Amino acid sequence: MPKLCVALDLGPEEALKLVDSLLDLPVVFKVGPSLLLSCGPSVIKHIKDRGKEVFLDLKLHDIPTAVARAVSVAESLGADYLTVHTLSGPEVLETASKTALKVKLLGVTLLTSHGEDYLEAVKLGFRSVEEAVLHLSLLAKEKGLYGVVCSGEEVRKVKEKTGLFTVVPGVRLKSSPEDQRRVKTPEEAVRNGADMIVMGREIYKDPNPKRVVEDVLSRILP
Ligand code: C5P
């Protein structure tokens, strides 16, 4: 069954209010660095105490021991999912996988805000976004990660080639890309193979976030 993850890219009060307003719906909550920094780890406990899953989106990218320590702490706080950049390389990914006992590690491939111009600017040597995303997804699989984060454009191929759990951000009800590129609607993303879609602004900027969440769920759940 596909999952909907609500990105809590908000201040502490609004974030907790949004969580509490969506408790009766089957959603996962995503906590990023700004919310974690402003609320502290208690935000994870707040969500877990209400029986919901937490996706801790820290997008770790550091030396292996530093990443391993962060994985252990995230796990002890009860995070269900945790992101690490696949571009941090094989050694980091392997160390992170070996450290993770329960937390599901997700490898970020290329951010959905990145396109061919990013690859050219940083001279990564890939000929296309798709080639980069597939390569990084295969690396994540080889190193034992649970899943990957990629766009709705590449998710079909990633799923076919890796079979990993796939997380797709950059999802829009209509096309209004803001700073996201390679955007898809919820139903397109799921049809293409997304196991979890991530949505933020379209939900929390709406005057009635619960109505938007119900709408998205009705589009993606069988
Ligand atoms: O507001 P919007 O729906 O664009 O939210 C996108 C969320 O997805 C943000 O929290 C962002 O950090 C996250 N994300 C992303 N691209 C990735 C991984 C995560 O946009 N590759």
Query: CB within 6 Å of ligand 1 — which residues?
Result: 7, 9, 30, 32, 57, 108, 111-112, 149, 169-170, 180, 198-202
Per residue in 81-127, pLDDT tens?
A: 999 999 999 999 999 999 999 999 999 999 878 888 999 999 989 99
In terms of Cα–Cα distance, which of 169, 52, 182 is closest to 128?
Answer: 182
Ligand 1 pocket mutation pick from 9, 105, 148, 206 by most atoms within 8 angstroms of CB: 9
Per residue in 44-90, pLDDT tens?
A: 999 999 999 999 999 999 999 999 999 999 999 999 999 999 999 99
**In the prediction, which pLDDT does 34 show?**
98
Report the DSSP beta bridge partners of residue 4. 27, 197
- Cβ neighbours, 10 Å, residue 23: 11
HSE-CB for 41 with a 13 A CA cutoff: 8
Whole-number Cα distances in Å, 139 to 92, 108, 197:
11, 11, 22
Q: Of ligand 1's atoms, which has the minimum distance to the CA of residue 110? A: 21
Ligand 1 pocket mutation pick from 112, 113, 185 by most atoms within 8 angstroms of CB: 112
**In the prediction, which pLDDT does 179 show?**
47
Question: Closest Cα to atom 13, ligand 1: which residue?
Answer: 169
CA 88 to mean position of chain CA atoms: 17
In terms of Cα–Cα distance, which of 159, 132, 131, 67 is closest to 105?
Answer: 67
CB 19 within 8 A of CB 29: yes
pLDDT at 176 over 90: no
**Was domain 3-217 assigned CATH 3.20.20.70?**
yes
Tell which wins on pLDDT, 181 or 185: 185
pLDDT at 7 over 60: yes
| C-alpha dihedral sign at 191, 192, 196, 197 | negative
Share of the chain above pLDDT 90, in %: 91
Question: Closest Cα to atom 2, ligand 1: which residue?
Answer: 200
How far does residue 200's CA lie from ligand 1's centre (Å)?
Answer: 7
Which positions are catalytic? 59
DSSP letters along 100-120, please? -SSSEEEEE-S-TT--HHHHH
Secondary structure (3-state) at 54:
strand
Ligand 1 pocket mutation pick from 106, 111, 198 by most atoms within 8 angstroms of CB: 198
Per residue in 12-26, pLDDT tens?
A: 999 999 999 999 999
pLDDT at 181 over 90: no
- Cβ neighbours, 10 Å, residue 142: 13
Phi, psi of 107 (to 5 degrees): -90, 120
